[in-house]
Amino acid sequence: MIRNIILDVDGTLWDTTEIVSEAWNVAIETDGRSGAHATPQRLKQLFGKPMNVIGELLFTDVSQNVREKLLDDCVIREQKVLEERDAKILFPGVEETLKALVDGGKELYVVSNCQSGYIELFLRKNDFESLVTDFECYGNTGMSKAKNIRMVIERNGLLPQETVYVGDTQGDCDAAAEAGVPFIYASYGFGDVPRADRRIARFAELLDL
């Protein structure tokens, strides 16, 4: 029986790529040292990877020091814009489904490769703080998604056989396998996972588990 659901964020719970691409391009143009351009489609290809990898893949025309500064500027502007923007960017059914899962006795967790503060912003902006028991991210630990999943499992005393990870990329699938938990592929998201333990075409299908 599944009692614990660990969730990815981008491409699984919401799609910020339109807003984030705008914010990042302003930061890039303000700095002026890179010719990179962040489109929503490009970000969909990059999201899910650790932040340092995203920087390496997007800012290929500058040094590592400049790349790190650029990425920091992008993240700061991104979080400011996301905090201020009143846009409906949750995937359909996410709010209702999360509440129904908790009401049905499921424990919810979040693990992402995002920067520090991003999960907190997501929970605060959508008023989900009371629904999620614990969370972890690359920005906090500097560790892989698989290790962060294991960390959440261990510090909350979860049983792997009662736990699933829900994500939308092959990286999510690989991380779940490495962490020793089944994977549920959100096929409406950003990635392509040909072989997944199970797939959902709508977030609300989690209620059928």
- Average pLDDT along the chain: 96
82 pLDDT tier (thresholds 50, 70, 90): very high
In whole angstroms, give the CA distance from residue 140 to residue 6. 17
Cα Rg, the chain, nearest whole Å: 17
- The amino acid present at 36, given as its one-letter code, is A
Mean pLDDT within 27-56: 95
61 and 145 co-located in one domain: no
102 and 39 co-located in one domain: no
pLDDT over threshold 90, residue 18: yes
Whole-model pTM: value is: 0.95
pLDDT of 86 reads 84
Per-residue model confidence as pLDDT tens digits over 92-106: 999 999 999 999 999
209 pLDDT tier (thresholds 50, 70, 90): confident
70 and 94 co-located in one domain: no
Number of structural domains found in the chain: 2
Q: If 0-12 CB within 10 Å is exposed, 13-18 middle and 19+ buried, where does residue 72 land?
A: middle
Q: Give me the domain span that covers residue 98.
A: 4-15+89-208
Q: Of the candidates 39, 59, 84, which is a domain's last residue?
A: 84
Q: Of the candidates 68, 84, 100, which is a domain's last residue?
A: 84
37 pLDDT tier (thresholds 50, 70, 90): very high
Q: What is the CATH number of the domain that holds 67?
A: 1.10.150
98 and 199 co-located in one domain: yes
Give φ, ψ of 99 to 5 degrees. -65, -40
136 and 199 co-located in one domain: yes
80 and 144 co-located in one domain: no
101 and 58 co-located in one domain: no
Distances 92 to 56, 60, 123 between C-alpha atoms, Å: 32, 35, 17
pLDDT of 34 reads 97
Q: Of the candidates 27, 53, 84, which is a domain's last residue?
A: 84
Per-residue model confidence as pLDDT tens digits over 111-122: 999 999 999 999
113 and 202 co-located in one domain: yes
Mean pLDDT within 59-68: 96
55 and 114 co-located in one domain: no
38 and 103 co-located in one domain: no
pLDDT of 87 reads 82
In whole angstroms, give the CA distance from residue 123 to residue 1. 26
Per-residue model confidence as pLDDT tens digits over 136-186: 999 999 999 999 999 999 999 999 999 999 999 999 999 999 999 999 999
Q: DSSP letters of the chain?
A: ---EEEE--BTTTB--HHHHHHHHHHHHHHH-S------HHHHHHHBTB-HHHHHHHH-TTS-HHHHHHHHHHHHHHHHHHHHH-----BPTTHHHHHHHHHHTT-EEEEEES--TTHHHHHHHHTT-TTTEEEEEEHHHH---HHHHHHHHHHHTT--GGGEEEEESSHHHHHHHHHHT--EEEETTSS---SS-SEEESSGGGGGG-
pLDDT of 88 reads 87
Q: At what angle do helices 51-58 and 64-84 cross, to 10 degrees?
A: 110
113 and 190 co-located in one domain: yes
- The amino acid present at 78, given as its one-letter code, is E
Q: What percent of the chain has pLDDT over 70?
A: 100
